[in-house]
Structure formats: C-alpha cells, structure tokens
Amino acid sequence: MCDLRGLQLEADELEMLMHPHVGGVILFTRNFESPEQVAALCKSIHDLRQPHLLIAVDHEGGRVQRFREGFSSLPACALLAECHTTKEAESLAEQAGWLMAAELLAVGVDLSFAPVLDMGGKISQVIGDRAFHTDPDHVSNLARAYMRGMKEAGMAAVGKHFPGHGSVPEDSHVAIPYDRRKYQDIQMKDLIPFERMIRAGLPGLMPAHVIYPDVDEKPAGFSPIWLEQILRNQLEFKGTIFSDDLSMKGAEIMGNYPERAEAALHAGCDMVLACNNQAGAISILDEAEIPNSIELQSRLIRMHGHFDKNLDELKQTELWQDRSAAVLHLEKEPELDLGDDLFN
C-alpha cells in the first residue's frame, strides 16, 4: 500500500499503481481538497484495476481526521466514554463508527484504519485521547460497538496497534519504543481488547512498531512470534494484517525498505504500508521478495468497501441526520496539530 503526492494521479504514480505487487493506496490530508475532488480521485484509482485497489485513510476523529471540509467533525474516541451511562457511551460509539464509515464510503474510500484498541491515559501522548478508555473492559465494549457501526455502514474495521501501544511513552513515528513488561502483564491488560474484538469478528488488524523484549527482540509487526504464534494460532485471528508504516522510526531497526517489507511479510503481514517515501516504495517493488497466495488475496478482498450512495445523497437520509446530530455535540477542537503525514 503506497501513497500519492497530490490531488490527482500523476503519470508515474499511475504506472506504479499498475504494478502487480501494489494492492492499495493510503490517502492523507495533502490528497484532499473537497469531497467532490477526493471522490474523483478514488474513482480514478478504483477504475485502474479489477479487483480494484484498496483505498485507505486514517480517519479516527479528534486529532486524527484527514478529511474535514464537507465531512462531519468527529469527536476523539475518548470523548465517547464521558457519557453518563455505559449504555449511552456504547450507543454513541456505534453511531460514531457508522458516521465515520458511511461518509468515507460515500466518496469511495474502502476502509479507515480504525478503531484504536490501545490503552488510553497519560503514558503515551501519541495515543492519548485516540483510545476509548484506560480500562480494557471499557475499550473492548466501546470498540465492539464502534465496529458494529462500521459494519452496518459497509466498512471492515482494522483494530490497532497490536498488542498495544498505549503503555509506552515513546512514539514509534520518531523513536523505537520498548515495552519491558512481562508477557503475562501485557496479556492481562493490553491484549484484552484485541482478544475480545477477534472473538467478535474483527476483520483487520495493524501491529505496533514496538519491541516487547520479554517476547521477541523484533518489533511486533516484524515478529513471527507475535503475528503467527500468538495472533494467528493462540488468538485464532483469521483476518487481514496490515503493517504500520515502514517509514516510521520504529521500523528502521529492520534494515532498508525492501528488508523491512520482506521481514513484515514473512512474519505474517498480508500488506505493508510504505508512506511518504516514494523511492522507498519503489525499492520494495523492485527488490523485495513478495509472497503471493490465494489465501492472502481472499483476505484482502474481504476488506473492500460497499458503496451505494454519494455524500450528498447520504446527507439527505434521515439516518445520517439523526446520527450526525447525536455524535457531533461531543466534538471538541483538536488539542494539537498532528501534521499531514503522521499517525497510523
């Protein structure tokens, strides 16, 4: 999965997207000008190939929302837990998941890398209010409701960042985080939402560029122990595994771009993200040994979105009007600017 420079496809990007090992595109704020423009961009990408390339975006709400003008300004997930009752919080989470997914599908985006399943709180600033709660039970329940809303809209959920990024202070975009807790401690806290979401049918997952030395000296997204032994075999996850961005600092320990891609794919990832470094993405296509299998392709096909309305048509529906009114009163101004190209 690669990215684009601007508001429309350029000739060299079109050629790159036709490469048989490219399976998707991730969009950023620099790719967005208006709902009409981004819908046209998505159509031009989808029209290139059959089955069409996946189009993804980070569109969680709060600090992390790539498209704003013409889209609902979604609240940070932590705000959903501040309701008076658990039942109300779960209802709002479900409506927020639907609203986010429905609006993206209406412009042709297949999936948002959401929901965040990490632990909230003050340990990790990069997670912070992107997480639903500080308690794994509440994270599990709210995330499950959010996933139900996404599924109703026609979008597959991608939980992140397995097995949990919220308990380390370092930001894997700019550092190599180490979580030195024992596996049993991670299992009794951070892993709980992932395990419960998998049991509830989570379609996709993104691992963290965090090293858990009690388990493996490799970051989780490059670790067969985490992805094959624990995630696939122990937790019985059957869905799609997307790597986090290979351009992040937390991935540099694995070598150059082709080496990072090979390590992630051989560890168990189905698709790797190479963002904000086109030369790195091209080097993966030119040099990396990329496995191909029918099982992998079938998992990726299940991540395609279901499109039936454009954004104007969606906003005319009573369902959109009711759910946007319910969710948007929670919206607050983002606490900090995360920039254009950060934070999967």
- Residues with catalytic annotation? 173, 244
β-pairing, 240-245 vs 271-273, is parallel
**Most distant CA pair in the chain: distance in Å?**
54
Strands of the sheet containing 240-245, edge to edge, are: 158-162, 204-207, 240-245, 271-273
The answer to whether 243 and 269 have CB atoms below 8 angstroms apart is: yes
Classify residue 204 as exposed, middle or buried by CB count within 10 Å of its CB (0-12, 13-18, 19+): buried
Q: Can you state the angle between helices 318-328 and 86-105, rounded to 10 degrees?
A: 130
- For CA atoms 128, 129, 130, 136, the dihedral sign is positive
Measured CA angle at 313 (ends 308, 315), to 5 deg: 115
Locate tokens 């300004």: which residue?
A: 73
Gap between the Cα atoms of 287 and 69, Å rounded:
40
Instruction: Identify the helix (H) or strand (E) that includes residue 47.
Output: none
CB atoms within 10 A of CB 132: 29
Q: Is the backbone peptide bond immediately before 163 cis, with ω within 30 degrees of 0?
A: yes
275/209 Cα distance (integer angstroms): 15
Per-residue burial over 312-329, b if 16 or more Cβ lie within 10 Å, else e, is: eebbeeeebeebbeebee
Name residue 219's beta-bridge partners: 211
171: Cβ contacts below 8 Å, ≥ 6 apart: 124, 125, 126, 177
